Structure 1
């Protein structure tokens, strides 16, 4: 089996409401969809959601790299040979993990369809039967966040994740408001997205947050401040999760050597796709660090890919792949069964891509052929 053609689509997914994190406000979600076609006629889909603040990529750079560099390198390659696929990409260009993730995901989807197997059976087999889905609150007024939390619990969610990272005082007020609204028993996780910057501010915030019984606090300090993460972990009674700080192998190795966090949020867009994500999961497991599979607010395509990694990995204890639930329109049909997600047994990613919707949402299209 050989890759014969690669098509690249620039897409902007409409959001039901804007999504606000500490470093940006998203009115819609830019994405790059990749379609691989093999010489025998099988098709696989992949996706890249670039983020200048996390992966150092943009929509435009990702399209150019896939169209002009990585795509031509993969024409004629066998998508089953994932170690070689990644070696070819890594030799062509350093970093650009979201661009590589799009091609990696598409290869897995294509191979799964060729063999008649779901992707999770290609990477270890299904371990989990279901995962609870957490509703994510973007940054807003404390009362508005509290009201949204109550509404989402009524809709079926059983846990809440809060985006914070504006400043310590207002963030504590947000957490307090949500805790009052949902009661003492609903799990609450807090994601700072580096917004508290350093260990000093983070420890100040965590002292004030003790009464609110948080499940964990995610990436409170700057991404490269492993020493700050380690200090916070050593002085905190609340588990600490690292996210932006771990992209690929070098950062995961540093995390395991320093034991700088209790948990790690692995994202396919940060590490380069399904194949490297599984490698990171294995490294974390060897060091006793629990894993979450997260996302960059992706469509059904990349969200499904993340779920296949999660469902096939024992050490993955939580997921955060709710992009399709935020979109007013999606190209795929990933199905949620709130408050859970359960994967089907269909081959590949297990979703159908509506090409009419893809053409409708696409703002540009490019083609790579052999």
Structure 2
């Protein structure tokens, strides 16, 4: 049974600011959960809240965990994943990042107790390795192209380009990177809702097709699945839904409206490992490939995402590069750039760097 839950509100330092269409991040606020069982096992989870995506903030998530969800789970069996989620969902509407922290900690703890990697709890390992995609945050075209060339020299074979300021300027950015790296390097374009509506996005489609973009991600506002469906009917390149897909309800609508070719599953949007697996199963039934994406989590949240990705055939790409962006991390998730190959250690398969966790902690509470 769950005996104690410790909460750590931390801020993860970035090597350089991370710029997307709706915000510039100078560091990454995160909440680490340490869950202890009455028989001596420990599991770790993480919540990276983003008010632009789920409406949760770092502060609100911390206090929701402290005052509501952590007390709710004390005395519960961490291995009853479905029941844990039902208890949380009946108590709190939404708040997927907070629930993800608890879900991940439960999976880590139970897998350690059983002596197996987390992926063995959710179907076993399917993939041997995944290529790592480098994310280019928004900058001037020449600067983005220079960074891309440097990363190609380090071995990267694919890029996600963050755009979404103005269509014309964004096309210049994409053209500059494509010209710099050539046609053999994969480029995916993520607008993060920045083009707002389908009429703006339609202006970009011919140029994106000309520049041989792998896929276009979330070009319109999150709630505009009709706009996504219109673009899908008119585009000759695949469309991926991200902010427009949080949980099972949105997934049904994406399928019904034929609003995307691909989906981006993020544990912080859907509520953790168990809900992410359910989304992957839905997508497989609909014949839609999946990606496991990131809210720029530490090694803890990133490892959880990788365990989901490695266990499912329908998940064909990953973008979990938070640990590569941090000047200091609380875990030691290992990358063999440009690939990642998970180890076979029990739980999430990472070690917690206690000194770093202590150093980065702004607030801490223990619930028993």
TM-score for both structures, normalised by structure 1? 0.99
Secondary structure (helix, strand or coil) at the match of 2:76 reads coil
> Aligned pair 1:327/2:340, yes or no?
no
* 2:131 paired residue number: 132
The 5 A counterparts of 1:1-370 are 2-369=1-368
Distance 2:161 2:207 in 1: 16
Distance 1:210 1:314 in 2: 28
- What number of residue pairs does the alignment pair up? 368
Structure 1 outlier segments of 4+, above 3 Å = none
Secondary structure (helix, strand or coil) at the match of 2:13 reads strand
Secondary structure (helix, strand or coil) at the match of 1:205 reads helix
Secondary structure (helix, strand or coil) at the match of 1:64 reads helix
Secondary structure (helix, strand or coil) at the match of 1:46 reads strand
Q: For structure 1, which runs of at least 5 residues remain unmatched after alignment? A: none
Distance 1:83 1:184 in 2: 46
Measured on the aligned residues, the alpha-carbon RMSD in Å equals: 0.5
Secondary structure (helix, strand or coil) at the match of 1:292 reads strand
Secondary structure (helix, strand or coil) at the match of 2:233 reads helix
Q: For structure 2, which runs of at least 5 residues remain unmatched after alignment? A: none
For residues 163-205 of structure 1, the C-alpha deviation after alignment (integer angstroms, 9 at most, x for no partner) is 0000100000000000000011111000000000111100101
Give the Å deviation of 1:71. 0.4
Distance 2:71 2:10 in 1: 21
Distance 1:235 1:195 in 2: 19
Distance 1:322 1:90 in 2: 29
TM-score for both structures, normalised by structure 2? 0.99
Give the Å deviation of 1:362. 0.3
Distance 1:55 1:126 in 2: 30
Distance 1:22 1:111 in 2: 39
